[in-house]
Chain A
Amino acid sequence: MRLAGMAGIGAFVAAFLVAATQAAGADYPAILAEKPPRLLSAYGFFEGIKAGSGISKPAQGVVEYDLATPLFSDFAVKIRHVHVPEGKPAKYTVSEALDFPVGAALVKTFAFPADFRHPQENVRLIETRVLLHQADGWKAMAYVWNEEQSDAELKIAGKRLDLSFVDTKGEEVSFSYAVPNRNQCKGCHAISGEIAPIGPKARNLNRDFDHGADQAGNMGAGPRNQLQWWAANGLLAGLPDEGVEKAVDWLDEKAPLDARARAWLDVNCAHCHRAEGPASNSGLFLTWGENSEVARGVLKRPVAAGRGAGDNQFDIVPGRPEQSILITRVASTEPGVMMPELGRALTDERAVEMLRQWILTLR
């Protein structure tokens, strides 16, 4: 069903068609199954999971998306997909993740190219994490890809993998990559103790993305604003015409430093460092909308940082990155010092440098 040439007819047709095609068999019962399937392929999210092709072709009703600023995960390339059940769009929310209906799934695949100077070549899929919205809440699961790259298998207790790649400077990097166990998923994905999505917040989705040749027949549409595309294609309801916040891509050097830092901290830290999060007891709240300077770490003393504090007295000392605990912890790779404490074994030096520059500008 190709609709090339019909692009001018507008979103109405596209929306109609997506509904029609989804109804024609886009049903994923495994999302609601009490016992998760052992293999990723059993969900049916991807067509033709086979050696080499990986997950390149999502199945009907499964839509790829992207975030303005993603969580750092040891440089892993992440490919994100969403499914919402037909006729049940996610509801727009101002600051939290969109309100996805029961039956929705968020599917995130982690991959590494052999050589980051050629990121499209020799890409190895490592794991696919799924967040499934069931009647009694979200369930988090990690599937680890096999050697043949033909399928991925559920790992309840997580797994450590020895990985290596060549970085953009041509240097070989070897490290122990941690696939999270089911509890560790909750270590980050928890609001008031319940599992919750983190990434797909309106501000973080509010950017252009090339949805390419999707099943709606929207071929050749080129990059379009994700939220608007989602709204037009039945994935999102209640999107306001204006006033939607917009997070920047933290790597965008043309964006204001403060916006880059705030976006980075929001995505990399605020899932725990918020009043409802696992690190609430620290009193350090790095959420996008936090207004208290002290709560954001400015001249705030640590309470339970342990040796994570090093010799420094404050989380952030304006103008003094070298005296700011935040920098120490983001730069470290030592358990007990490093932050975030889960989800990485390597340091993102670019982020450390950006945050240093940002603290230098603070007064």
Chain B
Amino acid sequence: MRKPVTACMLTVSTMLAAVAVSGPAIAADIAVRPGPNAAEELAEALIGAQKGDTIWLGFGRYELTDGLSLYVDDVSVRGMGPDSSILSFKEQQGSGEGLLVTSNRVILDGFAVEDARGDGIKSKGSDQITFTNLRVEWTNGPDEKNGAYGVYPVSSKNVLIDNVTVRGASDAGIYVGQSDGIVVRNSLAEYNVAGIEIENSFHADVYKNVARHNTGGILVFDLPNLPQQGGRDIRVFDNEVTENDTANFAPKGNTVAMVPKGMGIMVMANRNVHVFGNRLDKNDTAHVLIAAYPEDYKDDNYMFVPRGVYVHDNTYGEGGGAPDGEVGETISKYSGIPVPDIVWDGVTRIPEWLSWTAPENRIYISEEAGTTFVNLKMLSQLILPWSTTPDTDISAYKGSLPEPAPVELPQDKTS
């Protein structure tokens, strides 16, 4: 499989040779082309790759019946572009994802994964995993039979997702779970249930992405009973979160099945989340929702309420005009329609409800005049239903929190 570079790839490989001198091993270029044996050749290339190698995917479609996996450190898989080198899993018969990576310092660049039966591209336990210039798509559009996650790094460290397009995921297009050190930027997520989701993760920068025509645009969640929880230090900024208008098509058992159509940015649980500089428009349930984890759980280590959320300097177009689903109904019952731009469920822990919340744990909002807001005071509604009215005085939430430092990734030093 370790073939000499073929003619058409010479230019790229020469460029690569200049960069790939990190170790004593001689980096090889392994070229795979579409054809009747491509599936086997590609699987063999991924299995037989050695540190420093690059596997090149030639132009065309690869019809695959089984999931692919890469377990070797320091390997790149590069295609000719997200519309040129296409791994199609339409006929997939086995495995939980299209491509699985479990090794470190891996670069995935310039190809597409279509119609995976489970997840699209997953990395588990990787350090320095890079997803660039990729497309992961379910080509039949939104459908609950589509795979759950498009780009899916989990339990990973130093995750870079740049210039990726994901369409049609029945859970989240770009989903980063239980990871630490995350950059998601310049990417497009559309026609998924959740566009971009950061879950149970530490240190994430999510910026300059477009999340549109999903059920919900960008979600920052923390869930109980998982090996890593207590998500924190997350910045969501300079994103376009617009027209999230696709009906929720997640299977009912999934956490995202509760996300109402027309959710812009949602922060559930987590600590120290900063939402700023985003443009929100035409999200018909609410542009921004800050909420506690609403389900029962058994986990003494879990913090179910958001701690320290700072929302500032975003721009808000029209929205909140057609709140959807159970969540939309609960919100609008108290807030009326249109739902204000920013909604906080107002759930606190009982001791805090009885006394006060420490400054670093509060919700702060600093937006241009005219931005609307509501604190639903859900806990008070529950305890004192007759004397509770929602609080719409945005000025009462003025203040700020120190912003987390930008996330720096070792594989991303040039920026």
Residues A301 and B295 in contact, CB atoms below 8 Å apart: yes
Minimum C-beta distance from B150 to chain A (A): 11
Task: Please determine whether B147 and A280 come into contact, CB atoms closer than 8 angstroms.
Answer: no
User: Which residues from 261 to 286 on chain A have a C-beta closer than 8 Å to any C-beta of chain B?
Assistant: 275, 278, 280-281, 283
Q: B252 an interface residue at 8 Å Cβ cutoff?
A: yes
Flag if A312 contacts B253 (CB, 8 Å): yes
Question: For window 282-326 of chain A, which residues contact chain B by CB distance below 8 Å?
Answer: 283, 293-295, 299-313, 325
Indicate if A336 sits at the interface (CB-CB under 8 A): yes
B185 → chain A closest CB, angstroms: 23
A156 with B48, Cβ < 8 A, contacts A303-B226, A345-B94 known = yes
Please report the C-alpha to C-alpha distance between residue A157 and residue B94 in the assembled complex, in whole angstroms: 14
Q: A283-B227, A304-B171, A336-B118 are in contact. Are A160 and B178 (CB under 8 A)?
A: no
Query: Is there an interface contact between B252 and A311, defined as CB atoms closer than 8 Å?
Result: yes
A307 touching B225, Cβ below 8 Å: no
Q: How far is the CA of A335 from the CA of B152 in the complex (A)?
A: 17
* A-side contacts of B227, CB under 8 Å: 275, 280-281, 283
- Could you tell me the distance in whole angstroms from the C-beta of A270 to the nearest C-beta in chain B? 15
- Find the residue from A178, A183, A345 having the highest chain B CB count within 10 A: A183
Decide yes or no whether A256 CB sits under 8 A from chain B.
no
- A173 at the A/B interface (Cβ < 8 Å)? no
| Complex Cα gap A306–B65 (Å) | 20
B48 to chain A, nearest CB (A): 7
CB distance from B293 to the nearest CB of A (A): 10
> Given the known A-B contacts A156-B48, A281-B226, A336-B118, are A301 and B124 also in contact in the complex, defined by CB atoms under 8 Å?
no
| B95: interface (CB < 8 Å) | yes
Q: With an 8 A cutoff between CB atoms, is B269 at the interface?
A: no
What's the nearest-Cβ distance from chain A to residue B203, in Å? Answer: 18
A182, B177: Cα distance in complex, Å: 27
Cβ contact of B148, chosen from A157, A158, A307, A341, cutoff 8 A: A307
A183 to B100, alpha carbons, bound, how many Å?
10
Chain A 27-58 near chain B by CB (<8 Å), digits 1 or 0: 00000000000000000000000000000000
Say what secondary structure dominates the interface of chain B: loop
Q: How far is the CB of A193 from chain B (nearest CB, A)?
A: 6
Q: Are B70 and A280 in contact (CB under 8 A)?
A: no
On chain A, the number of residues with a Cβ less than 8 Å from chain B's Cβ atoms is 43
Q: Any chain B CB within 8 A of the CB of A357?
A: no
B side interface size, CB within 8 A: 54
* Distance between Cα atoms of A164 and B154 in the complex (Å): 38
B111 at interface by CB-CB < 8 Å: no
Q: B177 is contacted by which of A156, A304, A313, A334 (Cβ under 8 Å)? A: A304
B125 engages A193 (CB within 8 Å):
yes
CB within 8 Å of B: which of A312-363?
A: 312-313, 325, 334-336, 341-342, 345
A294 to B96, CA, bound (A): 23
CA–CA, A328 and B266, complex, Å:
30
Chain A residue with Cβ nearest B71: A183
Specify which chain A residues have a CB less than 8 angstroms from the CB of B152 in the assembled complex: 304
B236 to chain A, nearest CB (A): 21
Task: Assess whether A341 is in contact with B69, with CB atoms less than 8 Å apart.
Answer: no
Most A CB within 10 A of own CB, among B93, B96, B170, B297? B96
Across the two chains, which residue of chain A brings its CB closest to B155? Answer: A281
5 A-B contact pairs sorted by A residue (CB < 8 Å) = A182-B47, A184-B69, A187-B95, A301-B223, A312-B252
